[in-house]
Structure 1
Amino acid sequence: MASSTNSTPADDQTEPPSIGIKRVETAQDSKAQRLLRVDQISIRKDSIGSMLAATEVDIKSVLLKEVLLEIFDGVEGLSLNKTPPMCSPEILFHAKDALTSRKADEKEKDDPNQILINDIGTALRFINEDFGPQIQSLDSLLNNGEITFDLLWALMKPKDFVVSMQFRLTGQSQALSVVSGTYLRRQNSTNYFKLNGRMISHDGEDFGYGFVDTEIDEFDGARKITSLTAYPIQYDPNPDILRFLSRLRGRVMADPEAWKFNNGWTDLASPIIQREHSITGKDLDLRDDHLLICANWINGFSLTHKSWGQFSVDGLEDIVWNEDAFKKLVIDETRRKLIHALVRAHRQDDASFDDIIENKGKGLVGLLSGSPGVGKTLTAEAVAEVTSRPLYQVSTGELGIDADKVDKRLGMILEITRRWGCVLLIDEADVFLATRGIDLARDTLVSIFLRRLEYFRGVLILTTNRKSEIDSAFQSRIHFSIHYPDLTESGRVIVWTNFIDTVSKQTGTPSLDSADIEKLARLELNGRQIKNAVSCAVSLAREEKEPLSVNHIEMILSITNL
């Protein structure tokens, strides 16, 4: 960096002299030192050979120091309150526009402070002299929307807002407030610019400032600003800068506090909220700029993928519950009403009836048995829809067979489903329901499940294909049990009609006539097979750019093993 010389000041040549600032350049274990005075600016160079290790500007003017503190209010790492007040030349450079504006405002006052005007003028002359070549290069580059690697520091001003495209949590863009920027070198000798940014975040306990680093690798020549992994927000071509770049389909439970149940999740990590930066419990006057840097994600759980993660707030919306789902079940009307009434009436904290032991017996457990594809899983899904509850579906295969792991995972699942008021569906739960005998490993799993079930306070629905093999201890814990017979022809008519009518509404195409549906219903297929046949037929019709017809369905049935 060029040091100040005896060049003519760029402006304010007629203003009286003022003791304003001096520049101090230092290096550890310095071998040489020289002091040069130019008007009001003193420059001391400490060097090792030709290399300067650090540069600071000594702010002598108390008035100038106060203005700089006002400009950089909230910026960390400044030494303006030390004795003597210090700042880096780069920080002073970043204050150029604000100082120019402050000087103009002071001149417009009825009783301007001439000393302040002079001191700001001294600082501006220092900036123009010391950064003259960089200012010219920067102006030329910015006019073309470009920047060079060596001028990244000038582009990223403290407190300015930037768009970070390297946000590791979700891979989406995130607005940050610039804290600092540093040129660094990796162990493999590659250079990069590390931008430290601040955002308002929440870790489930504290609400405060989180800090995120964005790295910009060294590049040759000039590059478009918007091609960088981080750039000032004013250069973003998209007015909706916080748009979620990739939406996750499926239902999500947004619950930052329940992040403690995140067992072993290491792929994504929240920005660090240091205790001294916590703003929980404080009265906040959130301005638009605060809202801009709020984390555009929230900790939550994907019920579809059964995994924890950070989800874009922009990608979340209220669930539209399917209130007609229960009507489409092929089930006896009396049993339909019974299930509906039991689940709707159940409340987690309902203390109207309890076990002799406190907190025991407050759960609602249902058992659905029958052959595959007769509507057991669909019943659980419908129950969740009509009662506006999330559905947490898990199979015994996902729980595993190791007793300790099953106990731990089952405990976590039961707790979060209780917390969220979920309908918990355990599909093919035969291993937990089987009569205990001489198989010690299986008996252990049954015992674990029974113990966990004692204190469960939510809604649990289990499905099984073998009702006759249920352990007697479990039978006493069942509140309702329904056996589903194989679908009759009339039942298959209802199932075919439901699936085909759904497709018709989604595509805006006519449904099949009753004769075609009755023809299909003569085939002895279960509900899952019918669903798969319709799904494949829809894909075939879409490929042929035709509305769904019975011919598409018959073609699928003829070439598959449904």
Structure 2
Amino acid sequence: MSKMFKSINRAVKKLTEEAPQGNDQMIIKVKRLDSRFNRRGHQVVVDSGTVPTIEADNYDANGAYVLVHCKYFNQLGLLHRQTLDIKSLMVKKVLKEVIGDSYPGISFNTANIVLEYPLRCLWHYRDEIRFVAKEDKKSEKGRHLKLLLDFLDAEFAKLDADYNNYMEQGLTSFDIMWTLFKPGELIYTSFDGHARVFETKGYKEQSISCTIYGVIDGTYIDYNGDEFGYAQRYVLNPEFDGTRKITDLDAFPLKFHPREKEVRHDLISRGRKFESLAGIHCMDYNGPTISGAGHWGSKLFVNGRVMVDVKTHVHYHPEKVVAVSSLQGDKDKVKELTDSQNKPRYTTAGYHNGVYYEEVASQGANNVTMNVTLPTDGSGQDLKNKGKQNQKSKAVTVLTEEHLLLCSSLIYGFALNEKQWVQLFVDLLQPVRWNTVSFDQLVLPKSQKQLVKALVESHQTSTSNFDDFIAGKGKGLICCLHGSPGCGKTMTAESVAEFTKSPLYTISAGDLGADPAEMEKALSKILRLCTIWNAVLLLDEADVFLEERSLHDLGRNALVSIFLRMLEYYSGILFLTTNRVKTFDEAFQSRIHVALRYRDLDKSAREQVWRNFIEKIESSGTTTAIKEADYDFLGSVLLNGRQIKNAARTALSLADNMGEKLSLESVKSVLGIVEAFERDFKEMKKPEDIHS
């Protein structure tokens, strides 16, 4: 602290040496004035304590006093306003150096400095002013500053007494709570159970919905998809009676926190995590999210994979973009703006042959805009010049510990299961644990598994430049999986996503709608997202879009035609599942790269499915009483894969409830219920079949 004060004093000395000679002739006193209404109803300024006359006001506003204190009275003679006019150039220059423009609503860089009461800004910076005065006691500047300090000490005598008394006990009252929030002070608060720290920029009392609040104007570090920067947030402390512990306030200075060191460490660690989430990331998430803007949106619980991608969110929801001010200086801002005019702007993005490409709009000859596709690393960095550009990028984006402490606790992401953009709590984001062995557990003929794996790996890693005669067509991998329910069609797509470590985006006809225009809009958005995220797209129960066109149903024809056209230009991996391959439109045959038929599980396949689920239960730490000989019976029961999974889960719940291990007997109890339902279902369906 003393080093800072010495630095301020040196700067002030340099400035005050240039003060006009007239300063040493100033009257080192406080001129006290009253502004009152005379008998004619005119407002005049007179010496404090005197009665205004009907004569004109002869007071010279530019008198030679160091300070001029003026009280303003209304026509009823009641005091309603006070000002302090700083006349001394040396005092002005000290205040300019010590405070400058750091206090909101007041500038000490102007020629005339007239401060309105209450003088909160001078109370906050009294120690800094006192240090400068102490270093130069005997000079004219020192005497001017001493006059100011003596005046302030007298004005703040009662406030200082209350403040010191409360501070000794760690208390505050609402009336003097503003003393805690000096500009630059780090403020600790909590949003939805997650700690936050803001830097104070200002404080005021304000009525909101008929309640008085102490409103702290705070800044923090956020990310808008392009850069990190300072963002603004108002933090509220509601009015209260009497006194309250400082640490019981909704927001209070971080230095009062009993675990300040631990909080700093935790928030800096979270800040590093927040910084690392710039770009595109597939993460695991389990907990509440916020589906609206700010901290006041509705809550949505998410348990599953999410895509953290602020830039894409901004593209689709520009109204929710976070306004940030650059961490660089004004000169850097100008340079960045100038440089950006000479750089290509990225318009679209996506993976192709395992490399991320971005479509670049650049100026060619004769100022004609051309679209050029360049390979990038997924963040807009040209791979050819990646080394040089990365050095510059890191220099711009690396945050200091002071920045990391202020980082937001929220970041925008897309919940894949809920298909919704939400704000995710950074603390709850975890790296994905990819189940790379799930494909090996898939119960399929060996030849089919090898074919699917080879095609997917080839599509992911291929560097071939082979393309259609029309650019952009036929670059995707379209797989049609058809067969009876519960034979592994959906699990195939899920397993492919796991072993390729790609997010899985699952949609159905309900997500796209039945209106052709709405369907085209929704499908276009989904295909673009899957391209940007390198996701595996699964269209489950795709019958409605694959059904053969007819002359009588123009609406369905439009849906099929749109789907065919968009499928042609999709460059990612798409799995279509259906139970009705016989109704396919012929045009789909040429667009499907591989069609796999899933037959009903035979006895050995059912045994293997049972083994997989029992082993999964045991690998989670739960012991079972299933014996090797039991699998022969389990495999003999005619069930599909989904029914086996449901039976195993239900039997485990039944055994847990009875305090027993999972055994063949508990499985048989569940299978009896399943068989009864199957029998009833078939009996109820027979009359309908006969009637039809």
**Shorter-chain TM-score: which interval?**
0.7 to 0.9
Say yes or no: does 1:157 pair with 2:182: yes
Say yes or no: does 1:179 pair with 2:217: no
Is the 1:21–1:57 contact (alpha carbons within 8 Å) kept by the matching residues of 2? Answer: no
| Segment of structure 1 superposing worse, 515-524 or 475-484 | 515-524
Say yes or no: does 1:133 pair with 2:158: yes
**Which of 596, 599, 615 is residue 501 of structure 1 equivalent to?**
615
Is the 1:432–1:446 contact (alpha carbons within 8 Å) kept by the matching residues of 2? Answer: yes
Aligned to 1:80: 108
Report the CA distance shift for 1:361/1:73 in structure 2 as closer, same or farther (over 3 A).
same
Say yes or no: does 1:519 pair with 2:629: no
Aligned to 1:450: 564
Aligned to 1:191: 212
SS of match in other structure, 1:150: coil
Aligned to 2:303: 249
Alpha-carbon shift at residue 342 of structure 1 (Å):
1.1
CA distance in 2, matches of 1:62, 1:83: 12
CA distance in 2, matches of 1:117, 1:220: 42
Q: Which amino acid aligns with 2:251?
A: A
CA distance in 1, matches of 2:630, 2:29: 92
CA distance in 1, matches of 2:170, 2:29: 35
Q: How many residues align?
A: 532
Alpha-carbon shift at residue 388 of structure 1 (Å):
1.1
Question: 5 Å matches for 1:128-527?
Answer: 128-166=153-191, 172-186=194-208, 188-237=209-258, 239-240=262-263, 242=267, 248-262=302-316, 269=320, 271-273=322-324, 281=336, 283=396, 286-347=399-460, 350=463, 352-437=465-550, 438-510=552-624, 512-527=626-641
CA distance in 1, matches of 2:322, 2:513: 33
Q: Which amino acid aligns with 1:79?
A: S
CA distance in 1, matches of 2:42, 2:630: 93
Report the CA distance shift for 1:65/1:552 in structure 2 as closer, same or farther (over 3 A).
farther
CA distance in 2, matches of 1:381, 1:138: 63
1:261-301 deviation digits (Å, cap 9, x = unpaired): 5359x8xx454336899977595784322221122332221
CA distance in 2, matches of 1:23, 1:253: 65
Alpha-carbon shift at residue 468 of structure 1 (Å):
1.0
SS of match in other structure, 2:527: helix
Report the CA distance shift for 1:34/1:178 in structure 2 as closer, same or farther (over 3 A).
farther
Is the 1:499–1:534 contact (alpha carbons within 8 Å) kept by the matching residues of 2? Answer: yes
Report the CA distance shift for 1:276/1:545 in structure 2 as closer, same or farther (over 3 A).
same
CA distance in 1, matches of 2:254, 2:537: 45
Alpha-carbon shift at residue 519 of structure 1 (Å):
2.6
Alpha-carbon shift at residue 305 of structure 1 (Å):
2.0
CA distance in 2, matches of 1:458, 1:131: 70
Alpha-carbon shift at residue 522 of structure 1 (Å):
2.5
SS of match in other structure, 1:214: strand
CA distance in 2, matches of 1:138, 1:354: 76
Alpha-carbon shift at residue 482 of structure 1 (Å):
0.7
SS of match in other structure, 1:345: helix
Aligned to 2:685: none
1:214-257 deviation digits (Å, cap 9, x = unpaired): 23322222233344332222334553464999565322211111
SS of match in other structure, 1:197: strand
Q: RMSD between aligned alpha carbons? A: 3.7
Is the 1:299–1:311 contact (alpha carbons within 8 Å) kept by the matching residues of 2? Answer: yes
Is the 2:409–2:425 contact (alpha carbons within 8 Å) kept by the matching residues of 1? Answer: yes
Report the CA distance shift for 1:18/1:35 in structure 2 as closer, same or farther (over 3 A).
closer
CA distance in 1, matches of 2:639, 2:483: 14
Report the CA distance shift for 1:213/1:58 in structure 2 as closer, same or farther (over 3 A).
same
Report the CA distance shift for 1:26/1:469 in structure 2 as closer, same or farther (over 3 A).
farther
Q: Which amino acid aligns with 1:391?
A: L
Alpha-carbon shift at residue 412 of structure 1 (Å):
0.7
**Which of 43, 57, 67 is residue 69 of structure 2 equivalent to?**
43
CA distance in 2, matches of 1:314, 1:125: 50
Aligned to 1:10: none
Report the CA distance shift for 1:531/1:223 in structure 2 as closer, same or farther (over 3 A).
farther
| Segment of structure 1 superposing worse, 409-418 or 219-228 | 219-228
Gaps of 5+ in 1: 1-16
Alpha-carbon shift at residue 496 of structure 1 (Å):
1.6
| Segment of structure 1 superposing worse, 416-425 or 509-518 | 509-518
CA distance in 2, matches of 1:396, 1:25: 79
**Which of 121, 129, 137 is residue 91 of structure 1 equivalent to?**
121
SS of match in other structure, 2:431: coil
Report the CA distance shift for 1:441/1:511 in structure 2 as closer, same or farther (over 3 A).
farther
Is the 1:252–1:303 contact (alpha carbons within 8 Å) kept by the matching residues of 2? Answer: yes
Report the CA distance shift for 1:448/1:284 in structure 2 as closer, same or farther (over 3 A).
closer
Is the 1:20–1:59 contact (alpha carbons within 8 Å) kept by the matching residues of 2? Answer: no
Output the TM-score relative to the length of structure 1. Answer: 0.83
SS of match in other structure, 1:325: coil
CA distance in 2, matches of 1:26, 1:258: 60
Aligned to 2:23: none
Alpha-carbon shift at residue 336 of structure 1 (Å):
0.7
Alpha-carbon shift at residue 461 of structure 1 (Å):
0.7
CA distance in 2, matches of 1:25, 1:289: 47
Report the CA distance shift for 1:158/1:481 in structure 2 as closer, same or farther (over 3 A).
same
1:378-402 deviation digits (Å, cap 9, x = unpaired): 1111001111111111111122112
Gaps of 5+ in 2: 1-25, 50-64, 271-285, 289-301, 337-394, 679-692
1:82-121 deviation digits (Å, cap 9, x = unpaired): 11235561122222344456667x48xxxx8856655554
Is the 1:501–1:511 contact (alpha carbons within 8 Å) kept by the matching residues of 2? Answer: no
CA distance in 1, matches of 2:179, 2:424: 33
Q: Which amino acid aligns with 1:252?
A: V
SS of match in other structure, 2:307: strand
1:114-139 deviation digits (Å, cap 9, x = unpaired): 56655554454444322232233233
Alpha-carbon shift at residue 490 of structure 1 (Å):
1.5
CA distance in 2, matches of 1:121, 1:341: 84
CA distance in 2, matches of 1:131, 1:124: 10
CA distance in 2, matches of 1:30, 1:231: 47
Is the 2:217–2:235 contact (alpha carbons within 8 Å) kept by the matching residues of 1? Answer: yes
CA distance in 2, matches of 1:374, 1:414: 27
Q: Which amino acid aligns with 2:196?
A: Q
Report the CA distance shift for 1:478/1:220 in structure 2 as closer, same or farther (over 3 A).
same
SS of match in other structure, 2:620: helix
Report the CA distance shift for 1:43/1:340 in structure 2 as closer, same or farther (over 3 A).
same
Q: Which amino acid aligns with 1:457?
A: S
Alpha-carbon shift at residue 212 of structure 1 (Å):
1.2
Larger Rg: 2
Report the CA distance shift for 1:397/1:43 in structure 2 as closer, same or farther (over 3 A).
same
CA distance in 2, matches of 1:411, 1:358: 18
SS of match in other structure, 1:258: helix
